[in-house]
């Protein structure tokens, strides 16, 4: 990695000019390739598939990852950069622009016209024209890039912050004074041969971004979350060497951190000094604590287990119902109390990668309902109001890829009346659910949604 300070603004401005030259592909580019049919897909009667928009231009051949939303715009991360869609008509999303900026995995969030992009692959520098370079080289770079997207047709690259061990994911924490945002950076897998990613990697880097001066973004704290070193590992569970993803619930000043062998509940009332409230260490059947979702009032949290790293066929009879699943915890006196597991019961083929993955809450007052991706297992809409007895109320199960290869839904999120999904290797999909149990959610209108920064819908 290169110096721990961001590159100069002049260097970034030059990079921005090169990047924005690749944008402006609105509408026409997405129309060049017909939407791929979902031939052979199985689904519940309450789910309608509205649209598929294939990857094009500099993102074609990449891997779609996470999403963020603001107004009537969706931002879609991709290993090769990111795309911006107009979703005013969910049944016909239009590509506004896309930016070529390679570097896995492009976890993405937006706030106040700024877009934050995670880079978790070692690069020659922090520009969007960088090339792969070994992390054993001190000058290599990984971290968080910042773009101005106030004009979504012309994204502008304005800053970059290097972080230790790169940036696999990041979580946006708003400053209570609304003058800045904090980014909790998650990364893992240190190595003694990596100059800027030395073990033990028992911390998270916290980046502060002044909203009026994003070029001044910098790491302001690196709190240690695992003074004892974290879970040491087992025959079935990963040892903890950092966090994979963190989901915040700012209204209650708490966050849930999924950290390989550990699940944490954090106090984030002082954003630069998060503290551990409670910890569950490698719960039974868990392999890799991957992500988390709170319910609408922050009284429950579910943790996902990414058994097999996202590439394994973990939805088979042999694996069973409790591994590669989602674990439901009630929060009782700020303690994580395990209640049950949830996993789709449609067995997938041995050549279909399938495991619990990214999802979001569907805001239904009085109920705990979420939609969740399962890679080639499609997605599931499920109710965990009764924490001990979760049940599915809708699904879309995409057909297996032929010939067999990696694919399926990376993230599936509900936003302002529609369900949006990033199909990893084909494109951007939109669905609608029509069901009396979820119809009231359409009345909840958000101005912005970063799924890992959950709003309090009530309570």
Each residue's pLDDT tens digit, 404-450: 999 999 999 999 999 999 999 999 999 999 999 999 999 999 999 99
pLDDT of residue 459: 65
pLDDT range class, residue 175, cuts 50, 70, 90 = very high
Please tell me the distance from the alpha carbon of residue 84 to that of residue 412, in angstroms, as a whole number: 16
What is the phi/psi pair of residue 79, to 5°?
-55, -20
pLDDT digits (tens, 9 = 90+) for 358-396: 999 999 999 999 999 999 999 999 999 999 999 999 999
pLDDT (mean) for 351-359: 97
With tokens 């209108």, the residue in question is 445
DSSP H or E segment with residue 10: helix 9-20
Burial 154-179 (b: 16+ CB within 10 A, else e): bbbbbbbbbbbbbbbbbbbbbeeeee
Query: Which two tokens mark 103?
Result: 């570097």
308 φ/ψ angles, rounded to the nearest 5 degrees: 80, 5
For residue range 239-256, list pLDDT tens digits in order. 999 999 999 999 999 999
Per-residue pLDDT at 18 exceeds 60: no
pTM recorded for the entire structure: 0.92
Number of C-beta neighbours around residue 150 at 10 A: 12
Strand order in the sheet with 359-362: 42-43, 391-397, 379-383, 369-373, 359-362
Tell whether the model's pLDDT for residue 38 goes beyond 80. no
Provide the pLDDT for residue 458.
Answer: 79
Dihedral pair phi/psi, residue 45, rounded to 5°: -65, -20
Average pLDDT (179-207) is 97
* CATH among 3.10.150.10, 2.130.10.10, 1.10.3470.10, 3.40.50.720 for 9-449: 2.130.10.10
pLDDT tens digits, one per residue of 116-125: 999 999 999 9
């Amino acid at each position: 990695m290169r110096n721990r300070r961001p590159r100069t603004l002049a260097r970034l401005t030059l990079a921005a000019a090169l990047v924005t030259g690749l944008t402006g592909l609105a509408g026409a580019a997405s129309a060049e390739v017909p939407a791929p049919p979902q031939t052979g897909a199985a689904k519940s009667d309450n789910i309608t598939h509205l649209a598929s928009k294939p990857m094009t231009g500099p993102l074609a051949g990449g891997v779609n990852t996470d999403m963020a939303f603001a107004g009537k715009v969706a931002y879609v991360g991709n290993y090769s950069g990111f795309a911006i869609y107009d979703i005013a008509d969910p049944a016909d999303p239009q590509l506004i622009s896309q930016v070529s900026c390679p570097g896995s995995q492009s976890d993405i969030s937006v706030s106040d016209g700024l877009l934050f992009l995670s880079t978790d692959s070692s690069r020659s520098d922090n520009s969007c024209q960088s090339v792969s370079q070994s992390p054993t080289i001190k000058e290599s770079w990984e971290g968080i890039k910042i773009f101005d997207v106030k004009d979504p047709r012309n994204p502008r690259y304005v800053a970059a912050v290097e972080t230790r061990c790169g940036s696999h994911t990041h979580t946006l924490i708003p400053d209570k004074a609304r003058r800045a945002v904090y980014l909790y950076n998650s990364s893992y897998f240190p190595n003694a041969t990596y100059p800027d990613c030395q073990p033990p990697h028992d911390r998270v880097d916290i980046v502060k971004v002044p909203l009026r001066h994003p070029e001044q973004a910098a790491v302001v704290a690196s709190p240690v979350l695992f003074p004892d070193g974290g879970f040491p590992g087992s025959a079935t569970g990963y040892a903890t060497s950092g966090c994979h993803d963190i989901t915040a619930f700012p209204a209650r000043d708490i966050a849930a951190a999924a950290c390989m062998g550990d699940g944490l509940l954090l106090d984030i009332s002082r954003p630069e000094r998060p503290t551990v409230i409670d910890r569950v260490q490698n719960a039974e059947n868990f392999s890799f604590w991957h992500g988390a979702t709170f319910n609408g009032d922050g009284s429950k949290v579910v943790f996902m287990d990414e058994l097999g790293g996202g590439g394994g066929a973990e939805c088979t009879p042999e694996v069973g119902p409790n591994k590669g699943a989602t674990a439901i915890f009630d929060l009782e006196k700020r303690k994580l109390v395990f209640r049950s597991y949830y996993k789709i019961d449609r067995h997938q083929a041995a050549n279909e990668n399938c495991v619990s993955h990214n999802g979001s809450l569907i805001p239904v007052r009085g109920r705990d309902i979420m939609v969740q991706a399962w890679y080639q297992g499609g997605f599931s809409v499920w109710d965990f109001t009764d924490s001990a007895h979760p049940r599915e109320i809708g699904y879309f199960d995409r057909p297996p890829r032929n010939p067999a290869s990696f694919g399926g839904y990376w993230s599936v999120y509900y936003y302002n009346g529609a369900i949006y999904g990033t199909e990893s290797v084909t494109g951007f999909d939109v669905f609608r659910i029509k069901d009396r149990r979820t119809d009231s959610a359409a009345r909840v209108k958000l101005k912005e949604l970063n799924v890992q920064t959950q709003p309090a819908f009530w309570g």
